[in-house]
Amino acid sequence: MIRSGPNRYAEPLMKSVGTYKLRYRTTPPAASYLDPFGYGPGRSQRVIDSLRCQILEGGPDQSLRIRQVFTAPREIFRIEIREADPSYRRTTLVDRDALEDLLDTEGVRERITQLYDAPI
């Protein structure tokens, strides 16, 4: 026989939401500069190092463009590298600090100056 009224369902076996702890959640591990897939502070440095190597090792057919795309709320620059191979193009967005870090290298500054001073 089915009972009517508010007590026709079984009592809940689980505790109410928010009254128990989730033990499988742990704090994320500390950021490592050596983690190749990590999003820690080392990732931006690895990206800048990769750009630096690619600019310095680029041949005479390499095209390099640096453009400012945003000024507010933060300055963002687009670095575009095109190689002689028509199917290769690398575009990276960096902030002002990362761009200054990239331009700290004498070879990168010389390369950019050569490209922008060259006759068109």
Mean of pLDDT values over 60-66:
87
| 2: in domain | no
| 51: in domain | yes
At how many degrees (to 10) do helices 96-103 and 106-117 cross? 100
> Total domain count for the chain?
1
| 64: in domain | yes
Instruction: Say if residues 29 and 21 touch (Cβ distance below 8 Å).
Output: no
Residues 22-34 pLDDT 10s = 555 555 556 555 6
pLDDT at residue 4 in the model: 58
pLDDT at residue 75 in the model: 92
Q: Which domain holds residue 72?
A: 41-117
Residue 79's CATH number? 3.30.720
Answer yes or no: pTM beyond 0.95: no
| 100: in domain | yes
Q: Identify which of 116, 86, 100 has the alpha carbon closest to the alpha carbon of residue 52.
A: 100
